[in-house]
Structure 1
């Protein structure tokens, strides 16, 4: 690696419409079982669709974030004596009072304030991960906690519905012919990142290594992706170069795959730029097809999915597929029997405004 310190993921926690914990996520995402259902949290009578992937009841974001951070710290054997100098980087939806939420989460979990907050749409969480990794690799901190949360609300649902971004048929079909759009989903997640030396000194077994990360902005359009995927391709190249890993050694790609026509075709073009003919053999799937799009929290949820793929050797399913689209020629994971053949995997995200991120993870 270019950076001096190896960054590892020593603990994580996740909550979504599939349930709480990694077993629930494994059953849903890796089994290809969508968590979409009619929304009961708010009125959808005047909307084109009534469907999202939501947790039961009326969860409060700060409470869910506190629970996820506490669980991730426990998973990393990170006691309160270690948290005093551990920064919190928090990604949450911009419609909320993120400063107040972040301060509450820090106070209730024993992490120092002021926390750093991120609202950069669908790359908020992955931007936070990249910043945390850079801080650790550069020797500025031994470890950091990254948390992210989004709970589907009526206002956000209405905005995406008005923009005709939501799938009217109630299914997310990434990279498939006949795809109609995305669906929103709840997600709250937290990860503990630290230097390998720090984890070793604490006698903690790392879950995975964060080998490389990349961020770019192509500024093509306020909401449309650049059709050739050049910005996303540069983000992936940056992550691979930072890790000093050839593209051919990537064994799986967890795609952004929103299920929208333009975004999916642009992403497929980006991956083709990076991997060339090797893309025909690399398995690809978008787990938004089962857990929905969690906006600012999507990247962290999908990072955890990618880590679980490495740890279990299983590949999550690209659900909702109907038929091949010539603009999205990918080796899609369409059933739950596919296995991961290599020990490196990539997860990518893209956001409005042309922001792109790529995270490369590997065996610890």
Structure 2
């Protein structure tokens, strides 16, 4: 069946260290004030780095995801009948302290969490789970959009969650991936690494027909998406950015837009030396000389890296920025890196003179995703 349906975003919700809800997220990324502080949630004694972006009072991951899904569904105006056939695509890593344990099992599983959340929120459609590291949520959005556009599904709630916890924190710290100076500095000279942050988000994606039947407001459309792998190294991206460039090109082709239609990029940029330089190379491959004039920011410098939830949190940032008419700040800037010759937004937000933007994500193992969103 040919792809045909426009994929609309009709409801959203987010939690991060910047607060609860879309207003807190937008206000925080526009302020450009990093949310990093000492970790109080668990003991960091003996760790090389002891800071992260955490919200002081949070429930379990299951509880926060339930609240996010329900809030997004309510924001979209989904009643009980609308939810009954709605699918749930869930992106999360989870852990023994955050997942419900199925009856008869000793250990919790992520599929069990998806079923638990669907039941709690009245979603009666199929469920899927995504555990593909930092492209989990963006992959879930791409799959949902593809199925909606083909007409296989009318409506999908995509949800994603990561709350900073000791196991992943210890792995990133031991791997010396965390920023030793306590600041994330995307694309900047002197950057030393990433910092983790809380992120729980949910979006309602619908076909144009399903949204019209409910007279639902459209916040934005998912106009295109692309995925590509480079298989260059277990932890480092290809230095030429070939995989991410192919993902961006696929998103533009699917959206039927030329590169010069894009007026903003919410970058994956984690503040790590190899990854940021590779992403800059990818943007140069796609946009050529215009890459140096294309506004780019990485809001991980403010809210931290939410791992599996990053793609969804940053999709919401991008949509909110376009709708509000202001592009968010990249914090932590120290100076230009010649390997990253980009127009990085810093110091203050810029006016959004565009209806089309890209949000990019990449993960260990060479996985790359690009989502093209539009508010026109």
Q: Same fold (TM over 0.5)?
A: yes
1:211-248: CA deviation from partner (whole Å, max 9, x where unpaired) = 00001111111111110000000000000000110000
User: How many residue pairs get matched?
Assistant: 363
* Structure 1 Cα separation of the partners of residues 186 and 59 of structure 2: 28
* Structure 2 Cα separation of the partners of residues 220 and 138 of structure 1: 32
CA displacement at 1:22 relative to structure 2: 1.1
CA displacement at 1:112 relative to structure 2: 2.1
CA displacement at 1:55 relative to structure 2: 1.3
1:165-213: CA deviation from partner (whole Å, max 9, x where unpaired) = 0001110000000001000000000000011121111101100011000
1:122 pairs with 2:102: no
Once the two structures are overlaid, the 10-residue window that deviates more, 252-261 or 108-117, is: 108-117
1:106 pairs with 2:80: no
* Structure 2 Cα separation of the partners of residues 285 and 55 of structure 1: 23
Which residue of structure 1 lines up, in the alignment, with residue 12 of structure 2?
12
Which residue of structure 2 lines up, in the alignment, with residue 350 of structure 1?
362
CA displacement at 1:309 relative to structure 2: 1.1
* Structure 1 Cα separation of the partners of residues 326 and 139 of structure 2: 26
CA displacement at 1:100 relative to structure 2: 2.0
Runs of 4+ aligned residues of structure 1 deviating over 4 Å after TM superposition are none
The unaligned stretches of length 5 or more in structure 1 are none
* Structure 2 Cα separation of the partners of residues 36 and 64 of structure 1: 20
1:126-169: CA deviation from partner (whole Å, max 9, x where unpaired) = 00000000110000111100000001111110000000000011
CA displacement at 1:94 relative to structure 2: 5.4
CA displacement at 1:58 relative to structure 2: 4.9
Which residue of structure 2 lines up, in the alignment, with residue 186 of structure 1?
198
Give SS of 1:190's match. strand
1:268 pairs with 2:262: no
Structure 1 residues 124 and 191 mapped into 2: Cα distance closer, same or farther (>3 Å)? same
CA displacement at 1:26 relative to structure 2: 1.4
Structure 1 residues 55 and 337 mapped into 2: Cα distance closer, same or farther (>3 Å)? closer
Give SS of 1:4's match. coil
TM-score (norm 1): 0.98
* Structure 1 Cα separation of the partners of residues 52 and 193 of structure 2: 12
CA displacement at 1:260 relative to structure 2: 0.2
1:245 pairs with 2:245: no
Counting only pairs closer than 5 Å after superposition, residues 41-190 of structure 1 correspond to structure 2 as 41-93=41-93, 95=95, 97-112=109-124, 115-190=127-202
The unaligned stretches of length 5 or more in structure 2 are 97-108
